[in-house]
Amino acid sequence: MTVNLGDIHPIVLSDSKRGSGRQIEPHFLGPRGSLAKFLWKIGSFCIPATAAFPTPATHTLYLRPHAPKIPTETDSHSLFIVNVPVDSTAAHFRAIFYSLVGPGRFESITFAHQKSKTEPSPQSAELAPRKGNKRKRSETAEVETELPQIWDRQLVTSGGAAVALLVDDKSLEMVLKAVRSLHKSSKASKWPIWGEGVADKVPAIGMARYLSHQQLKYPDETALGAMVDAFMKSWNNTEEEQARLAKRKRNVPDENGFVTVTRGGRTGPARQEDAEEKRRELEEKERKKRDEMGNFYRFQTRERRKAEQSELVKRFEEDKKRVESMKEKRGRFRPER
């Protein structure tokens, strides 16, 4: 597919002699190609005036059905486009596809320079909230803590690639058919005009772009303070969550039986209730360990049985003495007559 970029109006620099001094005056060429002669002289080096007229430029886009190595659900109605212009936006391609197949066929476009969403790290996955409401609050905080944009419009890499997503498979067939018919006609007047009808939909480039960049580099104090507060709040929440996670991992073996070494002492600063609970847990663990290891050796079994027999004999003697004392207190039994 070939896109007409329109007329280019170059800049011609001319040197006008006024009296004894020299003055550098840049001149833009108008639609009629009016030329202002200028000679820029630096020492003995001179740049003569060069004739320049507005001439149409042609930019060629190469496209084919998208066929990545890892298939996705949208491959059947996606186009892989190469050699996209540097000022490409979704609005530009929407206008191009509108001129080819009409409205309602183009859905979105993804440029190669756009960063894809990275997979979260294991630590961030553990720290991520599990409930829906908490997840929404986390996403809102992440947006609030993002740095402000200093460019009102992102430029793409010249000659880069993009993937255009159409609404359905039929739209893809219609686009390819329209492109083939344009090549068969070979009439430049039928080619789409780049940027036609999108001037009011995207920020301007050129001098306006850099003026906007200069203003966006210095955000409002109120907005800047809100972003700093949101970032510090998110930072504190992350630190607290990491501390709780490290406390849970302390002295807890994994599936292989290894204990993860974390920062801080074995107990660390804690409240009195936490310390008492930890002490009771350790005592219970030691008691279970002693019970489990009590009958490990044979001599331990003999000693345990001997101690049990001694305890039984002792209790028997105590019961015997108790019965004798009760008989003495009650005296001789005398039946009634």
Could you tell me the CATH number of the domain that includes residue 182?
A: 3.30.70.330
Instruction: Please give the residue that has the higher pLDDT: either 82 or 336.
Output: 82
Confidence label for 25 from pLDDT (cuts 50, 70 and 90): very low
Q: Are residues 164 and 103 in the same domain?
A: yes
Instruction: Please give the residue that has the higher pLDDT: either 57 or 209.
Output: 209
pLDDT attached to residue 174: 92
Is 95 a domain residue? yes
d(CA 79, CA 68): 11
| Phi (first) and psi of residue 206, to 5 degrees | 85, -140
Tokens encoding 202? 């995207």
Is 257 a domain residue? yes
d(CA 117, CA 124): 14
Tens of pLDDT, residues 266-322: 555 556 677 788 888 888 888 887 777 666 677 777 888 899 999 999 999 999 998
Q: Are residues 139 and 192 in the same domain?
A: no
Q: Are residues 123 and 26 in the same domain?
A: no
Radius of gyration of the chain (CA): 43
Q: Are residues 15 and 52 in the same domain?
A: yes
pLDDT attached to residue 196: 86
Q: Are residues 65 and 46 in the same domain?
A: no
Q: Are residues 12 and 127 in the same domain?
A: no
Is 275 a domain residue? no
Which runs of E-coded beta strand occur in the chain? Answer: 2-8, 11-18, 21-28, 40-42, 45-47, 55-60, 62-65, 78-84, 106-111, 160-166
Q: Are residues 259 and 224 in the same domain?
A: yes
Q: Are residues 35 and 161 in the same domain?
A: no
Q: Render the burial of 128-164: b for 16+ CB within 10 Å, e for the rest.
A: eeeeeeeeeeeeeeeeebeeeeeebeeebeeebbbbb
Number of domains in the chain: 3
Is 334 a domain residue? no
| Average pLDDT along the chain | 75
Boundary residue ending a domain (57, 73, 95): 57
d(CA 26, CA 24): 7
pLDDT attached to residue 153: 87
CA distance readout (Å), 226 to 29, 145, 332: 47, 9, 100
Q: Are residues 48 and 13 in the same domain?
A: yes
Amino acid at 159: G
pTM above 0.85, yes or no: no
Structural domain boundaries enclosing 24 = 2-57
Is 261 a domain residue? yes
d(CA 102, CA 85): 22
Q: Are residues 164 and 77 in the same domain?
A: yes
Q: Are residues 123 and 109 in the same domain?
A: no
Is 309 a domain residue? no
Q: Are residues 72 and 98 in the same domain?
A: yes
